[in-house]
Amino acid sequence: MIILKSPEEIERLRVSNRIVANALAQVVKAVKPGVSTDELDRLAEDLIREAGATPAFKGYRGYPRTLCTSINKEVVHGIPSPDRKLQEGDILSVDVGARYEGYYGDTAVTIGVGQISPEAQRVMEVAQEALHRGIACARASNRLFDISNAIQRCAEGAGFSVVRQFVGHGIGAALHEEPQIPNFGEPGQGPRLSAGMVLAIEPMVNRGGSDVRLLSDNWTVVTADGSLSAHFEHTILVAEDGAEILSRPDGASEGAHD
């Protein structure tokens, strides 16, 4: 069942998502060559706690940290570590979640470290564009897989592939609720969308093939062929006439494209 949120629940989801978006914006500013993913993780945890929320991923199924930090061929769920220092030319996905008064926020971006190659730049741009194409289909009366299809067409149209083993999701009083939101699918299929649904949409786009594998830490997901991967995520509210992005930082304009 897809839970429709009440106005009171939506208010809390606005707060939790603003908190993760603000934390992510600060983490992004701290990214540079030589910084470890552990330092970024500590910064995020401090910011989330200062805002009166708690990290959502820490302790989730035994996950140890506040952020997921996934570099280059890592797709998602990379674990921050003091041994992992960012290098010029890397691309880094940072995913952050928080819980505020019982409601969750979840958002991610991929950014370049210093100067990056045109190939790396392109896969990031396409993944971000795919997210926004998906969001543009999230309105009442559309079907869920209209979102999925828009993402798939954008990524594959650019010559890249979408990861199929991991999906977006409903979000609310749980981090992961129904429905699952694949990043591929047939338009006009899937459940009908209604105002009051809150969804975390999160395309993972690989430069090479769509296959992934799990590293021996049992968390880090990498591309099977070692190609670069980019990941972007927003939590959105479905409304009658379109979607509202909840995971925007303070001061971001409604039309801002990140």
Residue numbers of the site for ligand MF3 (CB under 6 A)? 57, 60-61, 63, 68, 77, 95, 97, 106, 200, 202, 233
Closest CB to Co ion among residues 60, 240: 60
182 binds, among ligand MF3, Co ion, none (CB under 5 to 8 A by kind): none
Q: Which does 184 bind (CB under 5 to 8 A by kind): ligand MF3, Co ion, none?
A: none
Which bin fits 141, alpha (ψ -120 to 50), beta or left (φ > 0)?
A: left
Is there binding between residue 200 and Co ion (CB under 5 A)?
yes
**HEC string of 35-103?**
CEHHHHHHHHHHHHHHCCCEECCCCHHHCCCCEEEEECCEEECCCCCCCCECCCCCEEEEEEEEEECCE
243 contact choice in Co ion, ligand MF3, none (CB below 5 to 8 Å, kind-dependent) = none
Closer to ligand MF3 by Cβ: residue 109 or 228: 109
Confirm or reject binding of residue 90 to Co ion (CB under 5 A).
Answer: no
CB of 141 to ligand MF3, least distance (A): 26
Q: Does 41 bind Co ion (CB under 5 A)?
A: no
Cβ-based nearer residue to Co ion, 85 or 165 = 165
Q: How far is the CB of 208 from ligand MF3 (least distance, A)?
A: 22
Assigned token pair, 62: 């035994």
In the bound complex, what is the minimum distance in angstroms from residue 159's beta carbon to ligand MF3? 25
CA distance 198 to 175: 11
Residue 77 interacts with which of ligand MF3, Co ion, none, CB < 5 to 8 Å by class: ligand MF3
Residue 157 vs 171, nearer CB to Co ion: 171
Distance of CA 99 to the CA centre of its chain: 16
Q: Which is nearer to ligand MF3, 124 or 201 (CB)?
A: 201
Residue type, 158: A
Q: For residues 24 and 126, which CB has a smaller minimum distance to Co ion in the complex?
A: 24
Min CB(205)–ligand MF3 separation in Å: 15
38 contributes a contact to Co ion by CB under 5 A:
no
Residue 138 Cα to chain centre, angstroms: 16
Strand order in the sheet with 212-214: 74-76, 221-223, 212-214
Residues near Co ion (CB under 5 A):
95, 106, 108, 200, 233
